[in-house]
Structure 1
Amino acid sequence: MRVVLINGSPRATGNTRLALDTMAEELKKESIETDIVHVGSQPIHGCIACGYCETSPEHRCVFKDDPVNETVEKMRQADGFILGAPTYYGGIAGAMKCFLDRAFYTSSGYFRYKVASAVAVVRRTGGLDTLHQLQNYLALGETITPPSQYWTVGYGTDKGELAEDPEGMQTIRKHARAFAWLLKVVDAGKKSVPLPPEEAHIYTNFIR
């Protein structure tokens, strides 16, 4: 089994990466392969609502000059994925937001019933808002999220400071173990329990 971890921080080796590395280490202990992809420092286009992905082969995004299509393909092929982000102005950093908008708009159908989770890092406040924003993508993508002893938010500013947040680090480690467990449960269940029947999505506009 393989899990892709997305680093949405502009800093490739900062505290968000430390959180993802910590989770990756726990997954590796359970013989799960990991791949950490850094997108937070990339010049990523925002979604322009052109509709190209709805009709293109394999639902690819129209923009081919940034890492979204390549990274999304890794997420589609993986058994699960984890989103990591720092807190900027009480929310997700810009490049990560652009990445997630396009990743989930093109590929939510490929993510359905995959195991997925999120972790946020913050200096002081706003971490829960960032985590909830990340979790909104997971919920609308119909992914399955493992349990946690607390919200998966770690505290730190300078590189490596997250390691000085013992409860945050423990929460991240335990959550990663729960992720590995759920991944194996889902994999075992596929052999005997069919997925729920699907229905065409009904869209309702409140203003006509």
Structure 2
Amino acid sequence: MTLSKKYVVAFNASPRKDGNTATLIRYALNKIEEQGIRTELVHIGGKQIHGCIACMKCFENQDRHCALAKDLVNDCIDRMVEADGIIIGSPTYFSDITPEAKALIDRAGFVAIANGGLFSRKVGAGIAAVRRAGAVAALDSINHLFGICDMFTAGSTYWNLGIGFEPGDVEKDAEGIKTMERLGENMAWFITRVQD
């Protein structure tokens, strides 16, 4: 199959590079790839990523980058700008997302807004891995980025979550896997129908 020029980037904000969050993301990406869309999974969990410091330099500079240039966020922003679809996946930490996911959302979102809507009309999806409960709140935190950045939020047949604690446990969550696969299908469906 020849890949189209369309592109979806996914960010794994779990400190476990090959844990449950990555597994769930891969199920969605596999369905996107089946539609000929190029995908990329970027691991940001456990990396040293600074939170937004509200310096407002992104509004002054308007160079599509954050003034905090010593970590990987600007590289992530470049990928987000290039992408037609953006997935952010996180394990559930106290009914919310990891610090790395929050830092990416705050800084990338601020840069996008400061530069005239860099993510406007892209398709976004949040994915959460959870041991038992709290994932809906985590998904809500991710979806805030899509709402404020003039994006379309993709859904599925249930909340975009999978249940599991130990690495690999989400493979036993048949409904979670089905939800991820349908999420990937829905993102691909939308992206392939949006005209440039």
TM-score, structure 2 length as denominator?
0.93
The runs of at least 4 aligned residues of structure 1 exceeding 3 Å deviation read none
| Partner residue of 1:35 out of 36, 40, 44 | 40
Partner of 1:145: 153
| Partner residue of 2:173 out of 157, 165, 173 | 165
Query: After the TM superposition, which of the residue ranges 56-65 and 78-87 deviates more from structure 2?
Result: 56-65
Identity, % of aligned positions: 34
- Structure 2 gaps, min length 5: 1-5
Aligned partner of residue 58 in structure 1, secondary structure:
coil
> Structure 1 residue 48 and structure 2 residue 53: aligned?
yes
Instruction: Report deviation, 1:146.
Output: 2.6
Partner of 1:130: 138
Q: Deviations over 1:142-167 (max 9, x none)?
A: 11123411111110111111010001
2: CA distance between counterparts of 1:147 and 1:119?
Answer: 10
Aligned partner of residue 88 in structure 1, secondary structure:
coil
Instruction: Report deviation, 1:74.
Output: 0.6
Partner of 2:122: 114
* Amino acid in the other structure paired with 1:159: P
Aligned partner of residue 110 in structure 1, secondary structure:
coil
| Partner residue of 2:106 out of 101, 111, 120 | 101
Partner of 1:19: 24
Larger radius of gyration: 1
> Structure 1 residue 179 and structure 2 residue 184: aligned?
no
2: CA distance between counterparts of 1:5 and 1:104?
Answer: 15
> Structure 1 residue 83 and structure 2 residue 83: aligned?
no
- Structure 1 gaps, min length 5: 191-208
2: CA distance between counterparts of 1:97 and 1:27?
Answer: 25
Q: Deviations over 1:46-104 (max 9, x none)?
A: 11100111111423111111000011101101111111110001101112111211011
Q: Which has the higher contact order (CA 8 A, sep 6+)?
A: 2
1: CA distance between counterparts of 2:48 and 2:185?
Answer: 33
* Amino acid in the other structure paired with 2:127: V
TM-score, structure 1 length as denominator?
0.87
1: CA distance between counterparts of 2:188 and 2:64?
Answer: 29
> Structure 1 residue 71 and structure 2 residue 79: aligned?
no
Aligned partner of residue 112 in structure 2, secondary structure:
helix
Native 8 Å contact 2:125 2:155 kept in 1: no
Instruction: Report deviation, 1:40.
Output: 1.3
Partner of 2:10: 5
Aligned partner of residue 22 in structure 1, secondary structure:
helix
Q: Deviations over 1:4-39 (max 9, x none)?
A: 001111111100000111111111111010011111
Q: Deviations over 1:97-128 (max 9, x none)?
A: 11211011111411010111111110011011
